[in-house]
Structure 1
Amino acid sequence: MTIQLPTYFIGHGGVSILFKPGYEPVHRDLREIGKEIKRMNPDGIVVTCGHFQSENDTIQVNLKEPTEVWHDLSPAWKSTFPHVFDYQYAHKSSRALGEKVLSHLKAQGIKAEGTERDLDHGVWVPFKLMFPEGDELEIPILEVSTYAGNDLTAHIQLGRALSKLGGNILLIGSGMLSHNLAATREQSMDTTIPRYLEAASSEALAAATIAERNEQFLALQRYEGWEGAHPTEEHVLPLYVTLGVGQEMKEYKVFNKDQYIVGQSYFSFRLGALP
């Protein structure tokens, strides 16, 4: 009998969470997620990420093997914190897994194509914390893009298609519930927007039915502070993919609640029970 694995949405943060003080609580919860995943022992991990967005209505699947750490950071980091370009994350990739996912998506009626890219920081930063040195993953990590634009329902449908992949493959969305870097740089003290979104998301996860859960999450896009959380919406799209993957999963667990700063939230959750 095949046991259905749960799915995760992870608030991934930027490279600064690896070395700046004050992120220890975020580290602890990401490490807890990593331990859960290690206990599940999946054969591979497929990730949709806020740093991998298609330019159109065609989903892209990474077929590159091997992949390297991509230091996809602003040039300003070269003068401020140059050591971050030395960060590495030992990992495996799999063209075979990519081809399997690509074929599956096409069979599900999803327009998809292969591409080749390295592992962006929306994956290697949280994975470096979830699986630190000495407890590395020994399974491949595969990135799949989101769509262009901000059609949240389309991303739920993408998640539903991915949920039918089969096999012992774990599906993860990596993004942020609130991602406004301009607000973060301004360093005001107003955390109204991320606090509201975290409270609304907690309420949605506790909804009586999965249909109500989806509707409440979709309603967030109509919140008056939505643009203040997402000047561009690429970082929240993986959350809706996760909702689609968890279309039949009522149980949930929240991680990194109340771990927000101005403009950003590290709110994360699991849908489904641990096997």
Structure 2
Amino acid sequence: MSFLFPETPAAAFDEFLAATAPADRGRPTWTPDDGPMPALYLSHGAPPLFDDPHWIGQLFAWSQALPKPTAVLIVSAHWESAPLALSAPEAGTPLVYDFGGFARRYYEMTYATPDASALARRVAALMPATEPVHASARRGLDHGAWVPLKVMYPWADVPVLQLSMPTHDPARLVELGRRLRPLREEGVLLVGSGFMTHGLPFMTREMVEFNAVPAWSSEFDAWVAEALATGDLDTLADFRRAPGMPYAHPTVEHFTPLFVTLGAATDPTAAPTTVIDDFQIGMAKRSLQVA
């Protein structure tokens, strides 16, 4: 698959910036007349996303189908920290390049978003006294946040703040999403960022190169899709015993952001809208939104 071994790193992203991304310039920002913003769970990818024109197109089309948010609050698989913490809200906070073995180009990418201090204050105000939010002075956006958002909002003109994931307990994460739900009525896009299957240790080079989908990946993805369609949160919460486990998630941090998204829904048991449901390098990219 050419996007895994590009002659020119991020060439697909460069073409996207020149040919497609200008459609996002000047789009009006959300107003109350648009109604609450949805909450998303997205499979976020890593630097190879910038070499995959198909995935770039999927994410950008998704963002264009939504009102442009007043801000983005994102919970990523790559920041597990308790107690709750927020990334530094200042404009242009440096990124976290939490990956290795890629071309230099990806470590030179920037995403200088506007000041998000107002959102930081709102998030802190929504949390109970028993769970205060620590404000980080230096922590920037990790690749679970800036990689997909750099495609969805390529001009970095939307304030972005990252919230740490303090637990993998589904009930607690659903409750966290519920607390954050009022932000949707203020035009804030809430995002849980993970990957629907993430069994990287079990992928062979041949699987990766030819996008061969192993049974553990397709079976876990189908199980999730069925549980979501029926609003069965109890089944989803028992994900450690799902088909394909533990290969689909040898560690669970790429799946559990889903529960923050579901908690932020007006009705967490309502079936979400699946926006992306294909595979990259054998892993399920299933991504969805809830109202």
1:64 is matched with: 89
2:275 is matched with: 255
> Which of 217, 223, 240 is the equivalent residue of 1:194?
217
> Which of 100, 122, 136 is the equivalent residue of 2:144?
122
- Alpha-carbon distance in 1 for matches of 2:203, 2:228: 27
* 2:38 and 2:290 in contact (8 A); partners too: yes
Amino acid at match of 1:225: G
Amino acid at match of 1:110: E
Residue 173 (1) aligns with residue 192 (2): yes
Q: What CA deviation, in whole Å up to 9, does each residue of 1:179-237 have, x standing for no partner? A: 12222355444521221122122222321xx4x2x223223221153221222211112
Q: In 2 relative to 1, CA 59–204 (structure 1 residues): closer, same or farther, beyond 3 Å?
A: same
Residue 11 (1) aligns with residue 43 (2): yes
- TM normalised by structure 2 equals 0.78
* 2:87 and 2:141 in contact (8 A); partners too: no
Residue 269 (1) aligns with residue 291 (2): no
> Matched residue of 1:102: which SS?
helix
Amino acid at match of 1:17: L
Amino acid at match of 2:47: V
Q: In 2 relative to 1, CA 217–24 (structure 1 residues): closer, same or farther, beyond 3 Å?
A: farther
* 1:180 and 1:229 in contact (8 A); partners too: yes
> Matched residue of 1:9: which SS?
strand
* 1:25 and 1:256 in contact (8 A); partners too: no
- Alpha-carbon distance in 2 for matches of 1:224, 1:203: 12
Query: Alpha carbon RMSD of aligned pairs, Å?
Result: 2.2
> Matched residue of 2:86: which SS?
strand
Using CA pairs below 8 Å that are at least 6 residues apart, which structure has the higher relative contact order? 1
Amino acid at match of 1:61: L
Amino acid at match of 1:69: L
* 2:39 and 2:265 in contact (8 A); partners too: yes
- Alpha-carbon distance in 1 for matches of 2:284, 2:42: 10
- Alpha-carbon distance in 1 for matches of 2:213, 2:286: 17
Q: In 2 relative to 1, CA 183–47 (structure 1 residues): closer, same or farther, beyond 3 Å?
A: same
- Alpha-carbon distance in 2 for matches of 1:94, 1:167: 14
> Which of 23, 36, 42 is the equivalent residue of 2:65?
36
> Matched residue of 2:257: which SS?
helix
* 1:9 and 1:238 in contact (8 A); partners too: yes
Amino acid at match of 1:16: P
- Alpha-carbon distance in 1 for matches of 2:121, 2:176: 17
* 1:6 and 1:270 in contact (8 A); partners too: yes
- TM normalised by structure 1 equals 0.82
* 2:84 and 2:133 in contact (8 A); partners too: yes
* 2:88 and 2:140 in contact (8 A); partners too: no
The gaps in structure 1 that reach 5 residues or longer are: none
Q: In 2 relative to 1, CA 194–92 (structure 1 residues): closer, same or farther, beyond 3 Å?
A: farther
Tell me the CA shift for residue 247 of structure 1. Answer: 4.4
* 2:173 and 2:260 in contact (8 A); partners too: yes
Q: Which consecutive segments of 4 or more residues in structure 1 shift more than 6 A?
A: none
2:227 is matched with: 204
* 1:194 and 1:260 in contact (8 A); partners too: no
- Alpha-carbon distance in 2 for matches of 1:184, 1:93: 40
Q: What CA deviation, in whole Å up to 9, does each residue of 1:14-55 have, x standing for no partner? A: 112212xxx333222211221123xx132111111111111x
